Amino acid sequence: MKYALPIIFVFFIAFLSGCSEKEKNQKPNILWITCEDISPDLSFYGDSTASTPTLDKLAQSGMVYDYAFTTVGVCAPSRSSIITGMYPVSIGTHNMRTGRDYAGWGTRDYSGPSNATDINGDSVPLYSAVIPPHVKCFTEYLREAGYFCTNNQKTDYQFAAPVTAWDQNGPDAHWRNRKPGQPFFSVFNIEVTHESRIWLNKNLPLTVLPAEVSLPPYFPDNPVVRQDVARNYSNIELLDSQIKEKLDELEADGLRENTIVFFFSDHGGPLPRGKREHYDSGLRVPFVVYIPGREGGARIEEMISFVDLAPTMLSLAGMKPLSYMQGQAFLGKFKSVNEREYIYGSGDRFDEHSDMCRTVRDKRFMFVKNFHPELPSYKDVAYRKNIDMMNELLRLHNNGELDSLQEYYFREVKQEEEFYDCEKDPYQLHNLINDTSYGVEIERMRNELQRWREEVDDKGVVPEKQLFNTMWPNGIQPVTESPRIIERNGNLVITCNTPGASIGYIVNCRNTRPGLDGGWKLYTGPIPVIHGKTVYAISNRIGYRDSEIVSEEF
């Protein structure tokens, strides 16, 4: 593997107190409990509308991050940054959504039309994003270091999840399936707060009543609106009970005191003017980390971005983050000595609607660049109109019954630049770009956004059809070359000529052919020959079609 790292055994102080000698010799386990589509609408962020005793307890025993942000306010581009440590605009995963692969191992077949068009109106077919060859799913590095990596079960990376990325990836994936004593990195994604559950859970009893909810100023006080806002809070209460089930499993297995627990959402809330937005309502997320042995209840004001997750997981495992990663570690042995001053967000195609917006934010100010100010602010995404309140907002808008703050969402044209004082205007409703008293700050943020775009080689300026043809020459998905299995001095060496390819292998009984549903070991170097067995190998490069499975009998 091009970026293979030596295994570094690390014992960090937070785990030493109260651990047995055996436990001290282990790497920490890491558990992610993630959810979908919620903003920091939780009691430990000041909103006690939903009752969340499990999350409250986790926050009290852990650390609450007050400035945590995704890179894009929608799932697939956001998740691509989580799994790679790279900005979506840098690796070409910024347009939502490129293909059908969204859960588990997914489908390798991306052929077929879609309803997407790029900014020029050109039709864009389904495709798997081809990212730079040196960029891997960070879990490959954890697997190389001995971790058992599981994902249950959403992937949605804008590319098919490589079989080399996870030991298990699907509804049965669980840390309990590892070898005894093996450290694990396990992800459990809870979907009950997803946007779709606003209408799919419509007939479930509300545990938060419409009269109990508070509304942001960009929502009218309306029975339909209150009903869906109450449904969202009720879904958050369902989320809390499902998180309890997973933490109870950890406790029952005796793993709570050697497992770091993360909780966060993939982006902001599911309601209109939340998800898909490049403001705080789409980018800001709840984020809690529990580290055994560390005093709980801390409030962390360090700014973190989702590109920081990959390097942070490596750092916690005692591994130096890869130099290509655009994030920085905020915990662990290789924690960055410099805290972030800025976070960056983007918005491009969302389903059938294209645009290009970029955001830079520090702890107080937000600057937005609209590359197509002639396009409306509101994107009439068909999927979102399954939500009753979206249709109600459109009705009120068409009838002229919204006030100026509520109409801001529906403005027909945008200013080329926007600037917000987030302390005074937490919902980003008052554009101060022409306020000369903020001139110095506006120029600073404008320059910083331009600097970042140049640094990461922002591909948003490339029409998606052109980007697709670069990734898939002549509209055809490239294919990873088949691996070669060579016996050398009693060992097996497996190679692949495709730059950036990873290799998976299985040592199996003869006449037993593996599929693509897991069990593939990550090849990191020569393995001993085992006579009487068959070795199967597969190559994959992210965005390419997998190679054929090859085999050799010994």
Q: Which residues are catalytic?
A: 75
Task: Tell me the β-bridge partners of 503.
Answer: 539
**Strands 502-509, 357-361: parallel, antiparallel or unpaired by DSSP?**
unpaired
In this structure, the number of other CB atoms found within 10 A of the CB of residue 219 comes to: 22
Alpha helices in 253-403 (DSSP H): 280-283, 309-316, 388-398
* 199, containing H or E segment: helix 197-200
Nearest to 278 by CA among 136, 88, 149: 88
- Largest Cα–Cα distance in the chain? 80
Integer Cα distance of 143 and 185 in angstroms: 9
Integer Cα distance of 44 and 493 in angstroms: 53
**Strands 148-152, 116-117: parallel, antiparallel or unpaired by DSSP?**
unpaired
Integer Cα distance of 519 and 302 in angstroms: 39
DSSP string, 312-325: HHHHHTT-PPPTT-
Nearest to 70 by CA among 285, 288, 270, 271: 285
Integer Cα distance of 214 and 224 in angstroms: 14
Work out the end-to-end distance of the chain between its first and last CA atoms, rounded to an integer number of angstroms.
24
Residues 6+ apart with CB under 8 A from 323: none
Integer Cα distance of 357 and 417 in angstroms: 10
Residues 6+ apart with CB under 8 A from 126: 98, 99, 100, 110, 111, 112, 113, 114
* 247, containing H or E segment: helix 223-252
DSSP code, position 230: H
Sequence-distant contacts of 39-44: CB under 8 A, at least 24 apart: 39/265, 39/268, 39/269, 39/274, 39/280, 39/281, 39/284, 39/285, 39/286, 40/284, 40/285, 40/286, 41/232, 41/233, 41/236, 41/269, 41/286, 42/236, 42/286, 44/288
DSSP code, position 534: E
Q: Are 25 and 10 in contact (CB under 8 A)?
A: no
Q: Are 43 and 56 in contact (CB under 8 A)?
A: yes
Q: Are 377 and 368 in contact (CB under 8 A)?
A: no
Describe the chain by its helix, strand, coil percentages, rounded to 5.
30, 20, 50
Residues 6+ apart with CB under 8 A from 358: 89, 278, 344, 345, 346, 347, 368, 369, 371, 449, 453, 458, 460
Number of helical H runs and strand E runs in the chain: 13, 21
